[in-house]
Structures are given as C-alpha cells and as structure tokens.
Structure 1
Amino acid sequence: MRKILCMGMFSLLSFANCLAMDSLGLSESVKGSEARSQIKAAALTSDILFYGSADPANAAMITAIDLFLTDLYLKIDDSKYYKKADVDKCVKDVQVIGLLVMDPSQTVLTSKNCSDLKANGPII
C-alpha cells in the first residue's frame, strides 16, 4: 500500500512539474493561443504582400476573408501547448508557400506542417 501511495505521489508531482514547465515556457512549447497568433501574423503579412501588389483595390477585403479562413482551418486548441519547432515550421510554410504558391488559408489547409499540428500529450 505504501509503495502504491509513493508511486501515485511521484506521478502526480511529475505531471504537475511538466504542466508548470509548459506554462512557464521552459519546455520549448508554445501555448495554442500564441501559436494561433503567430500563424495568423504570418498569414497577414503574406496576404498584404501578395494582394497589395496583385489587386490593390480589393486587397483589404480579400485579406480579411483569407484571415477568417486561415483561423477557421487552424486546428489549434488555444488552451493546449504545441512544440515550438512544429509551430515554426507551419509559420515558415505560411510565409513562403502562402506568398509564392497559394494563399495562406489554403496553405494552412493543405500543408502537412500546419494541418498535422498536435498538442503536447499528457505525461504519464
């Protein structure tokens, strides 16, 4: 019984420590809300550069629609944590592919780096 209690306390403390590490930003993780804002900022920049030069008259309207679609396609839970390296890959795709090949919302939808973002799992 004592062994089970000790193992339970150890597991609880380990889990709490990992949660504290994530929330303090010490585990190379990014909170979902921060990841979403980074990706949307990259999408905004790509939209402004592309539509501002291609169709300046309608750039604001097209950019607003594309940002709405980007937010809609992002499968990110704002309360969970994501690996910073994975979020950075998605941001890079949105900056490069979203500007040169297709719009950012379609990049978020089709890019493996963006559509496969997985939250950090629970520590057991």
Structure 2
Amino acid sequence: MRKSFFLGMISLLVFANCLAVDSLGLSDSVKGSEAREEIKQAALTSDILFYGSVDPANAAMITAIDLFLTDLYLKIDDSKYYKKADVDKCVSDVRVIGLLVMDPSTTVATSANCNKLKANGAIL
C-alpha cells in the first residue's frame, strides 16, 4: 500500500504542470506580478535619476507618464511564471539602456529581452 502511494506521488510530481512546480518554488521562475514589479521598479529608478537631473520641475509628472507607458508595453501575464534569468535581462536593459540611451518605456517596447518574455509552458 505504501509503495503504491509513494509511486503515485512520484508520478504526480514527475508529470506535474510547470505552474505547480513554479508555485512551490522548485524552479528558477518568478510570478508574472513579481516580474512586472521588478521591471517597474527599475523603470522608476531610471526615470528618477534621469529626469531628476535634467528637468527637476517636471520630473514627477514625466516619471508617472513613463511608468504608465512601461506598464502598458509590458506583455506579462500576472498569473503565469517567467524564467528569472529572462526577467533579470529585461531589468538590466531598463536600468542601463533606459537611463543612458532612451527612456524605460521605450526600452521595454523595443528591447528583445523585454518584449519577448515568454511564460513557462506546461510539461506534458
């Protein structure tokens, strides 16, 4: 009886959906809502550093607009899971390119690391 229960549990875990594995923390993945928040935090930092030094009088308004656009351009489903390494690449692009070359919202819209984030699929 114990052997069949043990084998059943192992089988269930082996054929489990990625979402179950991800939600248990057994893979190197991040929930979509957390990925979105990480990217938006990087965008906020870049906006504050750039617009705070260039146009301090309007920095708050421009930052709010840019954060809205960043959120709009992100193609992330908050309920799915994404590879942590892919999310980190997008965050890095937003921090570097979004600060030095163009604004974060444009970086999210044009960077391959950001606009081609793919959710983890099911294991079947």
**Is residue 28 of structure 2 the alignment partner of residue 28 of structure 1?**
yes
- What is aligned with 2:51? 51
The sequence identity of aligned pairs, in percent, is: 85
- What is aligned with 1:96? 96
- What is aligned with 1:70? 70
- Is residue 19–residue 81 contact of structure 2 (8 Å, CA) maintained in 1? no
- In the alignment, structure 2 segments of 5+ residues that lack a partner are 1-8
Number of aligned residue pairs: 116
- What is aligned with 1:112? 112
CA RMSD for the aligned pairs?
1.7
SS in 2 for 1:16: coil
Name the TM-score, length of structure 1 as normaliser. 0.87
CA-CA distance at 1:15 after TM superposition:
3.8
| Structure 2 Cα separation of the partners of residues 15 and 35 of structure 1 | 26
Are residues 20 and 101 of structure 1, via their aligned partners in 2, closer, same or farther at CA, if it must alter by over 3 Å? same
| Structure 2 Cα separation of the partners of residues 76 and 17 of structure 1 | 19
SS in 1 for 2:26: coil
Question: CA offsets per residue over residues 63-95 of structure 1, 9 Å max, x none?
Answer: 000000000000000000000000000000000
| Structure 1 Cα separation of the partners of residues 99 and 84 of structure 2 | 22
